[in-house]
Structure 1
Amino acid sequence: MNVCLIASTSFEINASGEKIADLSRRGKFRISTLVSGVGIMAATHCITREIERNRPDFLVQAGVAGSFSDQYPPGTLVAVSHDLVADTCVKESIGYRHLTDMGLQPDAFPYRNGWLENKGPFPDNIPIVKGITVNEISTDSEKTAWFREKYGAVTESMEGAALHFAALSAGIPFIQLRTISNMVGERDKENWQLKEAITLLNHQLPNLLENILQQWNSR
């Protein structure tokens, strides 16, 4: 089983590299890593190219994210089941409107009820949440409030929807794993827990990978 582990930056997964290599050596899984770059366009291009060239059996995206919810503070590890690009929108006198609200993004494959939905499998012991993907890290309070009210999402990233779109379009099973590094809208990066979030991700990632892949193999 060929598995591709994807991160937007190498430092998000470097610390678990040896353990993941050991998992690959002793298991039934051949795990390669892919650094996609930051942002929706870079990630979509890189993941799609990997699919076209190597056709992995399973895609895993791992990285950090912001949180909209106090129930999921920095230091929380989650899996994202639903994602979309949230800031393809326009601001009108009545507020923000997404492309779907204007009829410019049809609710057709790979979308389902407006979302890019992953039906699993998911790890047994971490929360499964909705996420959104943005081009600009949210700091504006009005837009942040709109995201929270409209989507009810927990996480905000800059690459998650790229994975969901590419994997669903190609029919390849996948999972998006995130550790929370900050609350969305927090402008003072001194309050972010980026280093701690990356440490937690790398500590948990090898076991999570093994759990997910064993579940998939047993289906």
Structure 2
Amino acid sequence: MTGLLVVTAVPAEAEAIQAGLADATVAVVPVGVGPAVAGAATARLLALAEAAGRPYRGVVSAGVAGGFTDRVPVGGTVLGTRAVAADLGAESPDGFIPVDELGMPAELLGGGTSVAADADLLAALRAALPDAIVGPVLTVNTVTGTAASTETLRRRHPDAVAEAMEGYGVAVAASHAGLPFAELRTISNPIGPRDRSAWRLREALAALTAAAPVLR
């Protein structure tokens, strides 16, 4: 049996994790941006490992994220209690309707619009990262970039701490494989009006390197 599969979006995130991690049983793989490619690639990696007789024992979606800065500072670390597909659903005159409230049969919804992190894996990560902020991490297809959309997200997900683009896809792949899932993010920018001058990508990648040893 192998160890964890750690999935990132881009090579820079994978390299930051590998810089803080010296453990050959942990595979760190950049798979691409967005929930569709992340979910498909994760499912393929899990299936190949199982077919080779070396199944993984858990999956972590990791990388940088935008943060609600009244809940987590730029440069801070987040552990997701659940991955939420924040824009999977339908618009209506009365507002957004999550897909699991549209009356579809439960078997067509997979894990619904929210997949919880594995309790034991999350507890182990929390114990190793006591200063991390813990809460739901939103998965979006379109990064939030206006004050109005930020406020809409706050109202719909009042306990969310961050947003990224891959966690839900990775979580669904892990769930279908029957494996524990968790999400680890470091904050590179505030959620809100798009302002690249406010991004601190270097600091977020350094925080990812600092957090990486917990993945052993």
Which category describes the TM-score, using the shorter chain as reference length?
0.7 to 0.9
Separation in 2 of the partners of 1:143 and 1:97? 15
Find out whether 1:136 has 2:136 as its counterpart: no
Find out whether 1:145 has 2:151 as its counterpart: yes
Find out whether 1:157 has 2:164 as its counterpart: yes
Q: Does the aligned pair in 1 maintain the 2:17–2:212 contact within 8 Å?
A: yes
* Runs of at least 5 residues in structure 1 that lack an aligned partner in the other structure: 25-29, 211-219
Amino acid aligned to 1:117: A
Deviation at residue 10 of structure 1 after TM alignment: 0.9
Greater Cα shift, 102-111 or 76-85 = 102-111
Q: SS at 2:136's partner residue?
A: strand
Residue 102 of structure 2 is matched in structure 1 by 102
Separation in 2 of the partners of 1:200 and 1:148? 25
Separation in 1 of the partners of 2:184 and 2:8? 10
Q: Does the aligned pair in 1 maintain the 2:134–2:161 contact within 8 Å?
A: no
4+ long deviations beyond 6 Å: none
Deviation at residue 96 of structure 1 after TM alignment: 2.2
Separation in 2 of the partners of 1:189 and 1:94? 33
Tell me the percent identity.
28
Greater Cα shift, 164-173 or 139-148 = 139-148
Q: Does the aligned pair in 2 maintain the 1:38–1:159 contact within 8 Å?
A: yes
TM-score (norm 1): 0.83
Deviation at residue 104 of structure 1 after TM alignment: 3.8
The count of corresponding residues between Structure 1 and Structure 2 is 202
* Runs of at least 5 residues in structure 2 that lack an aligned partner in the other structure: 50-54
Structure 1 residues 190 and 23, CA gap change in structure 2 (3 angstroms): same
Separation in 1 of the partners of 2:102 and 2:147? 23
Superposed, 1:42-81 pairs within 5 Å as 42-54=37-49, 55-81=55-81
Deviations 1:35-74 (A, max 9, x none): 1101111101100001111031121221011112412121
Structure 1 residues 46 and 177, CA gap change in structure 2 (3 angstroms): same
Structure 1 residues 166 and 182, CA gap change in structure 2 (3 angstroms): same
TM-score (norm 2): 0.84
